[in-house]
């Protein structure tokens, strides 16, 4: 066996050794929950042609993180409150005709992000913890974070599971869904709140800047496979979890930024599926 072979063996041993550590178990578990929720919510977002609402809410959540750090409260909780307010704000502006969907998202993004900047400057500037929310810090997920991520993740997947067929009906043909007595507006608002929750629970994993990739890439990859809706949903979730675990392991082996590797893995899978579709 050559030196390269030994090196690979050592890497494998290293991975198994890492799996024994609690912080690594937290990372994989938290990451898997986030990947599952993001992929499922993200598929609906893509099909509703609202992927940018994910980016908008993520940037608005930054204001909530800054507020949490300023007040000394868990930033995940404050960003959850701010994100929910952002969703309600976007919905209000659209309903009242104050702004179209994309403009309303842009307004909320700008207000949330600039509020974050103001709070940070009041608090005395950037620090390491803030960077961990901006770019993700999956390896620092502690017990409290994991409990919050689990509760939010399970609530989101439960809600999606319960109202799966209604959301599909609204996504495919809103007018028909309305005719069948499905409460389209409340369900659409509830769905956007799920988007906010999903983003917040993923912030610790990939950070506010890259969370949109975790929302969009698994669903986009699954769509290339030409499957049924059930098949596409399962494929998106599978691809999301695969990107997450592969990304965490690769980043541990090569000692590079975890969130970057997770997103890069998801992008590579998208590339492969796109090539597969071309060749099909």
Partner 1 sequence: MADNNQSDVMKEETPILEVSNLYVNRSNSSVIEHADFTIHRGDYVGIVGPNGGGKTTLILALLNILPRTKGTIRLFGQNIESFSDWEKVAYVPQHAVNFDPNFPLAVRELVSLGRVNRGNMGRTLKRNDWKAVDEALDFMGISDIAKKRIGQLSGGQKQRVFVAKALVRNPEIIFLDEPVVGVDASTQEKFYKKLSDLNVERGITILIVTHDLTAVFCRMSKVMCINKWVNVAEITETLEPEEVLRKAYGEHFHFVFHGHECRRVFEDE
Indicate the residue among 110 and 183 with the shorter CB distance to partner 1. 183
Query: 88 CB contacts (<8 Å, ≥6 apart)?
Result: 189
Q: Is 272 in the site for partner 1 (CB under 8 A)?
A: no
Q: Is 173 in the site for partner 1 (CB under 8 A)?
A: yes
Residue in 88, 101, 155, 166 binding partner 1, rule: CB under 8 A: 166
Phi, then psi, of 205 in degrees rounded to 5: -80, -55
Alpha carbons within 13 A on the beta-carbon side of 197: 24
d(CA 263, CA 33): 16
Q: Is 163 in the site for partner 1 (CB under 8 A)?
A: yes
Query: 228 CB contacts (<8 Å, ≥6 apart)?
Result: none
Q: Is 169 in the site for partner 1 (CB under 8 A)?
A: yes
Residue in 19, 114, 226, 271 binding partner 1, rule: CB under 8 A: 226
d(CA 174, CA 162): 18
Q: Is 106 in the site for partner 1 (CB under 8 A)?
A: no
N-terminal to C-terminal alpha carbon distance within the chain: 39
Residue in 231, 271, 272, 276 binding partner 1, rule: CB under 8 A: 231
Residue in 96, 143, 181, 278 binding partner 1, rule: CB under 8 A: 181
Q: Which residues bind partner 1 (CB under 8 A)?
A: 47, 162-166, 168-169, 172-173, 175-183, 222-223, 226-232
């Amino acid at each position: 066996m050559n030196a390269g072979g030994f090196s690979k063996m050592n890497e494998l041993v290293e991975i198994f050794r890492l799996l024994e550590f609690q912080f690594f178990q937290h990372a994989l578990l938290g990451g898997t929950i986030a990947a599952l929720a993001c992929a499922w919510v993200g598929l609906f977002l893509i099909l509703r042609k609202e992927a940018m609402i994910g980016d908008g809410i993520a940037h608005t959540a930054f204001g909530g993180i800054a507020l949490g750090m300023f007040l000394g409260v868990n930033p995940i909780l404050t960003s959850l409150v701010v994100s929910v307010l952002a969703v309600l704000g976007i919905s209000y502006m659209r309903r009242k005709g104050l702004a179209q969907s994309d403009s309303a998202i842009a307004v909320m993004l700008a207000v949330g992000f600039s509020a974050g900047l103001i709070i940070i400057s009041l608090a005395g500037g950037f620090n390491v913890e803030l960077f961990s929310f901006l770019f993700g810090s999956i390896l620092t997920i502690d017990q409290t974070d994991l409990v919050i991520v689990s509760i939010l993740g399970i609530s989101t997947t439960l809600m999606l599971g319960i109202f799966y067929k209604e959301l599909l009906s609204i996504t495919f043909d809103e007018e028909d869904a309305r005719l069948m007595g499905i409460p389209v507006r409340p369900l659409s608002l509830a769905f956007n709140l799920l988007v906010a929750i999903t983003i917040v629970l993923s912030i610790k994993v990939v950070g506010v800047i890259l969370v949109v990739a975790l929302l969009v890439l698994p669903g986009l990859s699954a769509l290339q496979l030409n499957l049924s809706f059930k098949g596409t949903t399962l494929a998106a979730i599978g691809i999301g979890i695969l990107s997450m675990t592969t990304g965490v392991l690769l980043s541990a082996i090569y000692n590079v930024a975890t969130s970057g590797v997770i997103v890069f893995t998801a992008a590579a899978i998208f590339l492969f599926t796109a090539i597969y579709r071309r060749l099909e």
